[in-house]
A and B are shown apart, each in its own frame.
Chain A
Amino acid sequence: MLVFVILAVALIASAIGVVSAKNPVHSVVALLANFAALAVLYLTLSGEFLAMIQIIVYSGAILILFVFVIALLGAGTSVGDLGPNRLGKVLTPTVIVGALALVVLGYALLHAQNPSGGGMLGAATVLPGLANQIPAVTITPGTEGAFGSIADFGRALFTTYLLPFELTAFVLLIAVIGVVVLAGGGAPERRKAAEREPIAKPERRMEPTR
């Protein structure tokens, strides 16, 4: 329980840091802390393989992508400002959509059903104490085929969930094509137009960013 509280505080604090940081670089650092805390939370949920995947893919690949783009756009330029206060403009649609989402979520929680047999496990039966209904299983990490281990995960991924897995490969293919089309230089005349309008003045690049 103590571990959970510490991780929850770290998670929420770093999430607020991501949203409220003035400088995008600070946001990235907060997001890194967030992902690390999340990985440890996955460990407490005995998702040992996904905790590693979280660290490797999120912190290692996606965050580095963010850092690259920040470096490309030039940290310290106008990228980091908060902009005008938009709360008044977006308040009504946000409240409507939020209420709608809350209704759907509440319905789902009230009707959640344990897929692997057993009784209802939604919030309706649960709010007094879900912990009573949790199967009292002791999971020993590292044992062969335990819940959350790579063997367990891989067997499910390549048998029951083979189709979603293959669809994911397709999604990644589309992403690669999309990125090449978007950022891969484009048609020759477009490239020429880009040369006529220089991206940034050269002397600006020389300034140290503060």
Chain B
Amino acid sequence: MIPLQMSVDPNLYVALSAVMFFIGVLGVVLRRNPLITLMSIELMWNAANLSFMAYSRAWLNNAGHIFTFLVITVAAAEAAIGLAIVVILFRPHQQSNVDDVVLLKG
């Protein structure tokens, strides 16, 4: 077994997580494809998870592991509901732009 020592500065992990989160935000803001929007949201979940894991390791406190686990569960629920909404929205109309969905607009 190779012992794992933390040779990398946790700040680098947090910075990496910030970059990944930013890319996810860009995806949500700039792309109008609902599927890619959902995938960008997954990117953001994972960026948050990465900083949870980095701080958890830096502090040797496994609360971050627990919350990463919970985030993964909630992300699964979110993906299921989000994809169900995508299916019922886009199957009948064959449209692919989130801005076109104005059913609830007053």
Listed in ascending order, the chain A residues whose CB lies under 8 Å from chain B are 1, 4, 8, 11-12, 15-16, 18-19, 21, 24, 27-28, 31, 34-35, 38, 41-47, 49-50, 53-54, 57-58, 61-62, 65-66, 68-70, 72-73, 77-84, 86-87, 90, 94, 98, 105, 109, 112, 114-116, 118, 121, 123, 126-127, 129-131, 133-143, 147-148, 152-153, 156-157, 160-161, 164-165, 168, 171-172, 174-176, 178-179, 182-183, 194, 197, 199-200
Contact = CB atoms under 8 A, between A and B. Distances in A.
Q: Which 3 A-B pairs have the closest CB atoms?
A: A175-B77, A19-B27, A83-B32
Interface in B20-64: 20, 23-27, 29-33, 35-36, 38-40, 42-43, 46, 49-50, 53-63
Nearest to A30: B39
B30 A164 contact: no
Given A77-B94, A86-B29, A157-B66, A141 B39 contact: no
| Interface range on chain B (Cβ under 8 Å from partner) | 35 or more
Contacts of A27: 35-36, 39
Q: Which secondary structure characterizes the binding site on chain B?
A: helix
B87 interface: yes
B59 A114 contact: yes
Residue among A1, A41, A82, A164 with max Cβ neighbours from chain B (10 Å): A41
A127 B11 contact: yes
B84 A73 contact: no
B83 A69 contact: yes
B91 interface: yes
Q: Which secondary structure characterizes the binding site on chain A?
A: helix
Interface in B63-84: 63, 65-70, 72-81, 83-84
Contact of A19 (B40, B54, B87): B40
A9 to B, nearest CB: 10
Given A19-B26, A81-B96, A115 B66 contact: no
A42 B72 CA distance: 14
Interface of B: 1-14, 16, 18-20, 23-27, 29-33, 35-36, 38-40, 42-43, 46, 49-50, 53-63, 65-70, 72-81, 83-88, 90-92, 94-97, 99
A62 B79 contact: yes
Contact of B4 (A84, A129, A141): A141
A172 B86 CA distance: 19
